[in-house]
A and B are shown apart, each in its own frame.
Chain A
């Protein structure tokens, strides 16, 4: 069963909430070692009296959620399902730091309260007075995919519902410094848009907040739907290729029908070698698009890809930064997202 996308909301390193210019025609380029979100004027989306106490990830998530519901014309969804790989890092770090500095005395509880991963989804529920299902997944590169699979099962049972399903992750100074010490991110880079041309070790860290208003019933707004989703955990190359083939086959789709495959290459020469090898053997001559030079690498980057793919289906505008020269209508978009070496996922999007 398809999940129809009634609305989308995004806060990402690419500015996207204004409608006054062609979509992603001038993608933002970042110098340095990360891609951080272009943040909207939150007061448009969140009551000022709540804003003051909210950390950045909460604001990003709430704004993205509000945008999606607004586009869908929905006030209160039937459920809220969130995926976050890192969780609410800023508040976690504040509480840890204060606990150490103040030697466990006189601690302000607010950062502790807001450090739990489900704060994003529950704050949305709280402000909307949404008493429905509320779930939060945190499985590194499968966090958003877990949320999608849950949505799919829930809407299969009750297609009339509207679910608010998203992927949210933030970069903080401390977590960025720590992760860089593991050697997975580049020391620096002159241009994020040049991510795939620089033949370097490591990728660039990104962040983003995306929510989608999903239903089993068709809506008017986006014209895009999710056909299916699957994950492969620690697969061998052989298992991965067989799994991708089986996924496409069970969607009753021929390779020629894939109008675009969005591939989560990350710019790390070694990791991308494997991704290319798998892609060559899996996607035939389907047009290939890339996105991590626009989003950066992070656990829920596949939510960026889903927003991008759905936007392409909706607008039929294909940003040149993603792929060059598709001269046919884009109806079917497959997302193949590897997250480092253990996590691989597929999401198939179709025009309604």
Chain B
């Protein structure tokens, strides 16, 4: 996290050439890789490098979130909710190549952790969590939904502490999938720009630790942020495209606001879904102009730094949102030049600090029209 924050602060983008696997698109499609090989990750974590990359990234981020929280998980009814869309696909791809030649071939070790739930099980084992373990896969909104579920399980008094977020490794499967949809930019992506031309895929993991009031008091925690509202709605328009007016995203943001009891003008910063595709940014931007009229808050898509990390994006961007509150700052929307004419939104252009950031909204929208919005606040509501 410290190095990630440093990159955000210094406007250093993580988008670059593909190095993790061989692909005909190696020099063609830029991606946002975590700059550590599986071997390097495994060494840092003292784990086997045979684990799936999704699990390694997830364990790294989940451990960091727990260690930053300073909470002894074993003392409480603790749950883990992780989100992932590819699961162990990075290894399955290797297996499948041999399996296609001969169904008795392919190393079983490489397919044993294919299932999305397996990566969560590996993280749970690593953290020693048994009380509640679940995985959400609602495509790109998955980890925002994981964090909202965590808040619900705590407020229903089913759990005291929840480690929630998501993890997704970059894979050939997703790279080719998004490429077949023709929504990958061959240049570093330009979210919310008039001339944007698609997204870059990224990878990573982001987890946060949520606790009940009881845990906060008992552990004497000095918390800086609270979940104050969230919503998950369905655009019900198209399997992969968003409705032009952004009805799903509008209603997700509106419902999250209404749950938090906040007015649109109370929001200090929106961490946009902002993938950089023609469709998403116009749809999301339209929904924002409808909801906030002309007085939209400071906003930016951090996907120009990270690429679109799919099931991990809600978790990673939750961490960014909390950093914004904690460190009184707002992150820039890199590579923005001119506003989308239909909506005229100009995002945050540079890293700015010394701001009172009390309420942050984070948006995540996914395939199937799943639209989720969550609001983090400096003080409890």
Contact = CB atoms under 8 A, between A and B. Distances in A.
A71 interface: no
Given A109-B177, A115-B177, A233 B136 contact: no
B306 interface: no
Contacts of B197: none
Nearest to A145: B134
Given A112-B176, A115-B177, A118-B137, A135 B145 contact: yes
Given A103-B24, A135-B145, A126 B136 contact: no
Given A95-B177, A116-B367, A181 B134 contact: no
Interface string B312-349: 00000000000000000000000000000000000000
A136 B112 contact: no
Closest 9 CB pairs of A and B: A122-B368, A112-B177, A109-B180, A117-B137, A107-B180, A140-B117, A139-B117, A134-B234, A125-B234
B100 to A, nearest CB: 6
B238 A126 contact: yes
A121 interface: yes
B370 interface: yes
B23 interface: yes
B278 interface: no
A39 interface: no
A144 to B, nearest CB: 11
A18 interface: no
Contacts of B85: 116-117
Contact of B121 (A125, A136, A140, A143): A140
A96 B236 contact: no
Contact of B134 (A99, A103, A109, A146): A146
B381 interface: no
Contacts, number: 176
B96 A100 contact: yes
A131 interface: yes
Contacts of B124: 233
B232 interface: yes
Given A104-B172, A113-B181, A143-B117, A135 B132 contact: no
Contact of B234 (A103, A122, A142): A122
B139 to A, nearest CB: 5
B369 A122 contact: yes
Contacts of B121: 140, 342
Given A99-B176, A156-B156, A113 B240 contact: yes
Most buried by B among A114, A131, A231: A131
Contact of B138 (A97, A109, A135, A153): A135
A86 B106 CA distance: 20
A131 B153 contact: no
A245 interface: no
Contacts of B116: 87, 117, 138
A116 B24 contact: no
A135 B134 CA distance: 12
A177 interface: yes
A235 B133 CA distance: 13
A136 B136 contact: yes
Given A96-B92, A116-B137, A118-B367, A140 B153 contact: no
B50 interface: no
B130 A233 contact: yes
A135 B232 contact: yes
B172 A99 contact: yes
B136 A104 contact: no
Contacts of A99: 172-173, 176
Contacts of B1: none
Nearest to A83: B134
7 contacts: A85-B115, A104-B24, A113-B239, A122-B369, A126-B239, A134-B233, A181-B104
B370 A134 contact: yes
Contacts of A197: none
Interface in B145-179: 145, 149, 152-153, 156, 158, 172-173, 176-177, 179
Contact of A131 (B130, B233, B368): B233
A123 B232 contact: no
A128 B236 contact: yes
Nearest to A342: B121
A231 B132 contact: yes
Given A123-B239, A137-B135, 6 more contacts: A104-B23, A104-B172, A107-B180, A122-B367, A135-B149, A233-B130
